[in-house]
Structure 1
Amino acid sequence: MNGERTFLLGLLGEHIMESLTPAMHEAEGRRQGLPLVYRALDPVELGLADVDWPQWLLTARDFGYDGLNVTHPAKQALMGVLDGLSDDAALLGAVNTVTFSGGRAFGENTDHIGFSGALDACGIDASAGNVVQIGAGGAGSAVAYALLKAGTPQVTLVDVDPSRARSLVERLSHAFDASRLRVIPPEEATAAVGAATGLVNCTPIGMDGVSDGSPIDLGALHPGLWVGDAVYRPLRTTLVRAAENLGCTAFGGAHMVVGQAVASFGMFTGRPASREAMYQAFLQGSGTPVPS
């Protein structure tokens, strides 16, 4: 291992023991000959109740961790104890990556980077036309931000809770022209998709254990539409399969998960990661046959 220092990393959250993130990071560390240990930190799995997420972050820092990925429900809960925030994390109001240096904890958000990477990996030009986005929660915030940064002329938000969508518009309007965002009720979504060039699902609909349905009437899909889905279990949701059957460019949440991992690996180690290698590690971990 060339006598290099060992990186100690972790994933902090609940119900994460089956996460593929530790395996992706450790596989990339091995590929680069970099000593790296990545652990899942799940206090709920240990039987603890009323978890103090900020204290867990501080304890990880004191134990010598170099960084943490953070997932539900800690993304907002620990922001108050951080020593600094990236502009992206401050705008999105959530942190999913924390790096430690000199006793200080710095928070970043790579969720939007993951989605941008998925667009790039699939050759999608998000600036080519308007996009309908179903869901305005945590994942939806990052996706809408990524779309606006990519130059999407207008992002149409659809959420069962209109106030959540309006709140997202208010937050993003601090960085982008508010006229590029609009909110419509769910009953208008089908017509909106018919006139759009892109569609993204940012809800759990289609996820294993939730439903095998689609967040939108599949009859609204049309050739020329590109489709993204934040769900990665299964790798190809009902929505993604239907879009592919029409000849649409479509991708699932695996590309987003890998993009986040690639970005955070670089933040933790100071080294660029191979997106392709980490994607192959994800496929292997998910039990999906890897093309030879």
Structure 2
Amino acid sequence: MSSVTSGILAGLIGKGIQASRTPAMHEREGDAQGLRYLYRLIDLDQLGLDLDALPSLLDAAQHMGFTGLNITFPAKQAIIPLLDELSSEARGIGAVNTVVLKDGKRVGHNTDCLGFAEGLRRGLPNVARRRVVQMGAGGAGAAVAHALLAEGVERLCIFEVEPGRAQALADNLNAHFGAERAIAGVDLAGEVAAADGLVNTTPVGMAKLPGTPLPVELLHAGLWVAEIIYFPLETELLRHARALGCRTLDGGTMAVFQAVKAFELFSGRPADAERMQAHFASF
């Protein structure tokens, strides 16, 4: 990809995102590379908007010369019909967290999958991956599920408040990774009891949605537990898991590495991942 010398104007669309570290990560990496890099929050809650506003927000971003947008809860799947093209990864996952606006086109990408996989490799190396339970089957959940199976999880059991979404994700995963690698869950207590790992991909546990995605009484010391939430870094789920002696992974590494790839897509320049990790840790 050719180097970009003009300024970058990027933004994040989502709900309840005032605590996001993404703008500062992008801007500080831009500063380090001598780029004029501005990154703005487009918080649907703050603006009093819902998903119906996505078409007008995308139009406005194009008219105002945005280079690209990151997309987070709850818009990672709702954004897809509004795009002109999808990367092969975004198409396979069925979710988009990065949109590049270039030459009048809107091209969707998914950097969440890469980000979670990198976090798992760095934060939970050599954990057992025979059976894993995943909470959530939304846009982030789809990316994480693809990463889990790609990283060697043998059987993934997905729970979702809307069972049809869990089944649809399991069907997508089995089409990509082979039959019976993923199932829609029915017996949460039984599955967690038999699991090696538990991953929360729901927004429950965020600062604006406190709580846990499952009864903490189901946790046991034999589990490793991963989150994708990073504000706060220590969710109630992770706090309970650590008290039991579980190995845990917070959402920080995923946040950094999805941002590394998004920075490269927006700027056309490679990002310094270690520097962005240091930026993240300093906030």
User: Shared topology, TM-score over 0.5?
Assistant: yes
Which deviates more from structure 2 when the two are superposed, residues 119-128 or residues 232-241?
119-128
Quick one: higher RCO (CA 8 Å, sep 6+), 1 or 2?
2
Q: For 1:214 and 1:19, locate their aligned partners in 2 and report how far apart those are by CA, in whole Å.
A: 21
Other-structure match for 1:195: 194
Which deviates more from structure 2 when the two are superposed, residues 100-109 or residues 201-210?
201-210
- What code does the residue aligned with 2:221 have? H
Residues 239-258 of structure 1: CA deviation (Å, up to 9, x unaligned): 22333344432112222222
Are the aligned partners of 1:258 and 1:278 in contact in 2 as well (CA < 8 Å)? yes
Cα 1:135–1:41 change in 2 (3 A) is: closer
Q: For 2:178 and 2:23, locate their aligned partners in 1 and report how far apart those are by CA, in whole Å.
A: 38
Which deviates more from structure 2 when the two are superposed, residues 140-149 or residues 84-93?
84-93
Which deviates more from structure 2 when the two are superposed, residues 108-117 or residues 68-77?
68-77
Residues 119-143 of structure 1: CA deviation (Å, up to 9, x unaligned): 1221434774221112222222221
Whether 1:275 and 2:273 are equivalent positions in the alignment is: yes
Other-structure match for 2:238: 240
Other-structure match for 1:289: none
Other-structure match for 2:98: 97
Q: For 1:233 and 1:44, locate their aligned partners in 2 and report how far apart those are by CA, in whole Å.
A: 16
Other-structure match for 2:177: 176
> 1:156: Cα distance to partner?
1.2
Determine helix, strand or coil for the equivalent of 1:33. Answer: coil
Determine helix, strand or coil for the equivalent of 1:175. Answer: helix
Whether 1:266 and 2:264 are equivalent positions in the alignment is: yes
Other-structure match for 1:288: none
Whether 1:79 and 2:80 are equivalent positions in the alignment is: yes
Q: For 2:44 and 2:142, locate their aligned partners in 1 and report how far apart those are by CA, in whole Å.
A: 27
Determine helix, strand or coil for the equivalent of 2:275. Answer: helix
Are the aligned partners of 1:111 and 1:256 in contact in 2 as well (CA < 8 Å)? yes
Determine helix, strand or coil for the equivalent of 1:240. Answer: helix
Other-structure match for 1:164: 165
> 1:146: Cα distance to partner?
1.0
> 1:97: Cα distance to partner?
0.5
- Counting matched residue pairs gives 280
Scaled by the length of structure 2, the TM-score of the pair is 0.86
Q: For 2:6 and 2:227, locate their aligned partners in 1 and report how far apart those are by CA, in whole Å.
A: 38
- What code does the residue aligned with 1:196 have? A
Gaps of 5+ in 2: none
Other-structure match for 2:7: 6
Gaps of 5+ in 1: 286-292
Residues 16-39 of structure 1: CA deviation (Å, up to 9, x unaligned): 344221111001112223221112
Other-structure match for 1:290: none
Are the aligned partners of 1:218 and 1:242 in contact in 2 as well (CA < 8 Å)? no
Are the aligned partners of 1:132 and 1:155 in contact in 2 as well (CA < 8 Å)? yes
Determine helix, strand or coil for the equivalent of 1:231. Answer: coil
Two-structure CA RMSD over aligned residues (Å): 2.6
- What code does the residue aligned with 2:71 have? V
Cα 1:282–1:222 change in 2 (3 A) is: same
> 1:217: Cα distance to partner?
3.5
Determine helix, strand or coil for the equivalent of 1:53. Answer: helix
Scaled by the length of structure 1, the TM-score of the pair is 0.84
Whether 1:41 and 2:42 are equivalent positions in the alignment is: yes
Are the aligned partners of 2:51 and 2:75 in contact in 1 as well (CA < 8 Å)? no
